[in-house]
Structure 1
Amino acid sequence: MSCFTFLKVMMVLFNLTIVIGGGVLLGIGIWVSVDSGSFLNIFGPLSTSVMQFVNVGYLLIAIGAVLFVLGFLGCCGAQKESKCLLIMFFSIVLIIFIIEVAAAVVALVYTSLAEIILQGTVVQLLKTQYNKTSDVTTVWDTTMKDLKCCGLSNYTDFNDSYYMTHHSGMYPPFCCNSSDPCSATVAEKSKVPGCFPQLLSEIRRNAGVVGGVAAGICALEIAAMVVAMYLYCRLDEK
């Protein structure tokens, strides 16, 4: 078997795996979007940490769709020996790789700024959507119950919120260590910590795994680009 034929077969099998993986992610994304409660119950505190910052269902649907299309292009491009499909595959992988590198650099350089933006976004979400939107309410109820925390920074994140407006000025019961109605006085005495430090701790605890997976994905992307370009160039010789 020649090198070209071997790489062509490997390219087809590799991208077929990507197609299947993309389909699985699409299915999981739809499941999470429809039934986020089951997702939270299965994956526990880490899932609640992630869902504070991104809509996991829509994110998985987007990633699954991209992977499905990418795998289809690579698989068909190699099988049919189509230069057009191969160069499209190469270009998309290159764009994704550049975006990943840029995102990693921004995350490392502007960590503090990213945290400030996240805090402002999530607090606004708490004020306007908690106890109003079922998905947001489920995620935060699970988070505050499991981590024994209140709000993002503390109970004051609920000041002038939709929840307080519809509960006679009271705070969520998670903000108080008392069976009494959770008023501002009781919440202040309870000193229940905010969820943000604990959420960051959960994410950082798994940073090594995430970093390893990211490095592996980048290596696969580079290998895929090299193989796609090799096949593309060899087609000129056939």
Structure 2
Amino acid sequence: MGCFEFLKITMFVFNGIIFLAGAAILGVGIWVKVDSGSVLNFLGKIEDAPTELSQILNVGYLLIAIGLLLLVIGFLGCCGAMKESKCMLLLFFIIVLLVFIAQVAGAVVILVFRPLAEELIQKLRTAAVKNIKKDYGKNQDITGLWNTMMTGLHCCGFHNSSDFVDSPYYVDHNMQLPPQCCTDLTPFCNQSIADSGKINPGCFQKIWDLINSNTLVIVGVALGIAVLEICAMVVSMILYCRIKSMSA
């Protein structure tokens, strides 16, 4: 097998995987949009929630866009390599190049607008704490959502256990915190032992710690994707030039 045939097969297999991944992401995006009614119903129950929070529904559009983009890239890469189409390979190169530029621009935007993200988080904190104090223990949907999050992350409230003080649950259960707030060794706890280490930390802190602990993984994945994109562009141009020289 010559180098040219090897590159063709590599291009086909690599872009076949991209095509299948795009189909899967597109399916998830469509599912999110179809089921968006339940998400809207829940968000509507959160009093004083920041208006930016509603933008979470746009993740469905984002997934659909990413899925369609991957489908197009995978199709052009596969067909361009196997059919030895200069036009498809050139389009493949241009689209991947634009995606690469967009990723670099996106990284710059994230760094520049980081203060705005912190401001949004602060607004979300205020709304979440008010939501707990008003509805936790009274509204079944709100209570169930927080219980699921606290059980999964082993956390308590948005900021800490004080978020539950004066909530319907706290009042109705003799000033006790939800059992999800207590460590495994303390099935019943209250705010008086907040500094004893027997109460789980806030959910926001757990999520933030999780992100920080996986920063290297996130950066590594981003760099890996960038390297793959560069390799794909190089291979597509090699095939393009070889096919062009053969047809000359």
Question: TM class, shorter-chain normalised?
Answer: 0.5 to 0.7
**Structure 2 letter corresponding to 1:150:** G
In the alignment, structure 1 residue 151 sits paired with structure 2 residue 158: yes
Match of 2:98 in 1: 95
Do 1:30 and 1:57's aligned partners in 2 also have CA atoms closer than 8 Å?
no
In the alignment, structure 1 residue 72 sits paired with structure 2 residue 75: yes
Cα offset for 1:171? 3.6
Cα offset for 1:204? 1.5
**Structure 1 letter corresponding to 2:224:** G
Cα offset for 1:73? 1.5
**For residues 177 and 189 of structure 1, what CA distance do their matches in structure 2 show?**
15
In the alignment, structure 1 residue 116 sits paired with structure 2 residue 110: no
In the alignment, structure 1 residue 212 sits paired with structure 2 residue 220: yes
**For residues 130 and 225 of structure 2, what CA distance do their matches in structure 1 show?**
37
Do 2:125 and 2:158's aligned partners in 1 also have CA atoms closer than 8 Å?
no
What do you get for the CA RMSD once the two structures are aligned?
4.4
Cα offset for 1:70? 1.3
Q: Report SS of the residue matched to 1:204.
A: helix
**For residues 140 and 87 of structure 1, what CA distance do their matches in structure 2 show?**
50
In the alignment, structure 1 residue 142 sits paired with structure 2 residue 148: yes
Greater Cα shift, 145-154 or 95-104: 145-154
The sequence identity of aligned pairs, in percent, is: 45
Cα offset for 1:19? 1.1
User: Aligned in 2, Cα 1:205/1:3: closer, same or farther, shift over 3 Å?
Assistant: same
Match of 2:173 in 1: 179
Cα offset for 1:119? 3.6
Do 1:31 and 1:57's aligned partners in 2 also have CA atoms closer than 8 Å?
no
Match of 1:82 in 2: 85
- Residues matched between the structures, number: 204
Cα offset for 1:71? 0.6
Cα offset for 1:142? 2.4
TM-score normalised per structure 1: 0.63
**Structure 2 letter corresponding to 1:16:** G
Cα offset for 1:104? 2.7
Cα offset for 1:197? 2.1
TM-score normalised per structure 2: 0.61
Cα offset for 1:153? 7.8
C-alpha offsets along residues 71-115 of structure 1, whole Å, 9 cap, x if unaligned?
111111212222222122112211211222223334446544432
Do 1:28 and 1:57's aligned partners in 2 also have CA atoms closer than 8 Å?
no
**For residues 96 and 146 of structure 2, what CA distance do their matches in structure 1 show?**
36
C-alpha offsets along residues 35-71 of structure 1, whole Å, 9 cap, x if unaligned?
99xxxxxxxxxxxxxx9x9569625444333222211
Do 1:18 and 1:68's aligned partners in 2 also have CA atoms closer than 8 Å?
yes
Do 2:8 and 2:239's aligned partners in 1 also have CA atoms closer than 8 Å?
yes
**Structure 1 letter corresponding to 2:149:** T
Do 1:155 and 1:171's aligned partners in 2 also have CA atoms closer than 8 Å?
no
**For residues 78 and 90 of structure 1, what CA distance do their matches in structure 2 show?**
12
Alignment of 1:1-238 (within 5 A): 1-29=1-29, 34=35, 58=60, 59-108=62-111, 111-120=114-123, 140-145=146-151, 146-151=153-158, 171=167, 173=169, 176=170, 179-180=173-174, 194-237=202-245, 238=247
* The structure with more radius of gyration: 2
